[in-house]
Amino acid sequence: MTRSFGDHVAVHPTDVTIGPGGITGLLGPNGAGKSTLMRMLLGLVPADSGTCSIDGIALRGDGVALRARATYSPGEIGVYGEMKARDQIAWLLRGREPAALERALAIVGGMGIPLQRRVRGFSHGMKRMLLLAAALAPEVPVRILDEPSEGLDPSRRGEVLELLQADAERGTTILLSSHHLGEIDRVCDRLLFLREGRLLDEQQAGDVRERVKRILRLEWAEDIDPGVAHEVFAPFGTTRVEAERVFLLLETDDPRPALAALAASPELEAPTGFSFGQLSLGDLYREIYGREGI
């Protein structure tokens, strides 16, 4: 699928299969095209070219058949402030099976959100929970969640992640975007990295975890000469020097020869930080985007 807004290409030709089942995380900085791609999957933003299918049903017309098979929680919160929470959820669930309302009320009630209060007095996180409950309650094979935990406090975020994991275990396919790498790391089976509307990389969470085991990370308090660092470590694996934070990443199965070479090098000082097998998703994000993740 592709989509442009004027001269700006929001989503370059993108071809990807997600599921069945599991939680796929869509990662990327602001403006990467995550929300546009998610909206295109539901027919909310018409594609300029290409198509998609959900549960074997192809996108036709305005995508009503796909929306019957998928729920959506938008990234931006919009609610009727004058409605009571219970009415707001009922409004959100119009067109879904009647039992979904009871399930959504149970989710929201379980999080201590007052159902008889008007939504206008709710915090950002409480409003977010209403949208999320309405997206999690219907019996559908696919859920598309744009930053589902944005604005939630840590305890509610943990509860939401547990709900998502339980849902995925029942066989639901979940596509979510998030800027919280910690939660992506915790729940996702697969990661899709987008930048400027292009699918940059695609990794299974298991592969990331395997790769993490091979990463030696060294950190210095002051700038080092990248040329010297590459010269010292080149025999032991692929190296990358980050000038900004002054650290070096080396992919190797055994760090000991590299560390011995470092100790023997007169041009490199002893590092101030050292770790092996502890690359975080944030490091991976930095590696792909060249900037800090959250």
The least CB distance from residue 30 to other proteins, in Å, is 17
Q: What are phi and psi of 245, to 5 degrees?
A: -105, 5
Task: Tell me the closest approach of the beta carbon of residue 169 to other proteins, in angstroms.
Answer: 25
**What is the closest distance, in whole angstroms, from the C-beta atom of residue 190 to other proteins in the complex?**
24
3-state secondary structure of 4: strand
The least CB distance from residue 117 to other proteins, in Å, is: 15
Closest CA to 54 of 23, 17, 26, 22: 17
Please identify, using beta-carbon distances, which residue of 71 and 178 lies nearer to other proteins. 71
Nearer to other proteins, 146 or 183 (CB): 146
Secondary structure in 3-state letters for the chain: CEEEECCEEEECCCCCCCCCCEEEEEECCCCCCHHHHHHHHCCCCCCCECCCEECCEECCCCCHHHHCCEEEECCCCCCCCCCEHHHHHHHHCCCCCCHHHHHHHHHHHHCCCCCCCEHHHCCHHHHHHHHHHHHHCCCCCEEEEECCCCCCCHHHHHHHHHHHHHHHHCCCEEEEECCCHHHHHHHCCEEEEEECCEEEEEEEHHHHHHHHCCEEEEECCCCCCHHHHHHHHHHHCEEEEECCCCEEEEECCCCHHHHHHHHHCCCCCCCCEEEECCCCHHHHHHHHHCCCCC
Cβ proximity to other proteins, 141 vs 182, nearer residue: 141
Looking at beta carbons only, is 144 or 184 nearer to other proteins? Answer: 144
C-alpha distance from residue 118 to each of 87, 100, 102, 115, 168 (Å): 9, 21, 19, 8, 32
Q: Which residues bind other proteins (CB under 8 A)?
A: 39, 42, 44-46, 61-62, 64, 67-68, 71-72, 74, 76-80, 82-83, 87, 91-92, 94-96, 131
Nearer to other proteins, 144 or 259 (CB): 144
> Nearest 5°: CA angle at 140, between 41 and 143?
45
CB-nearer residue toward other proteins: 152 or 181? 152
Question: Closer to other proteins at the Cβ: 10 or 224?
Answer: 10
Minimum CB separation from other proteins for residue 241, in Å? Answer: 43
- Of 10 and 192, nearer to other proteins (C-beta) is 10
**Residue 261 corresponds to which amino acid?**
A
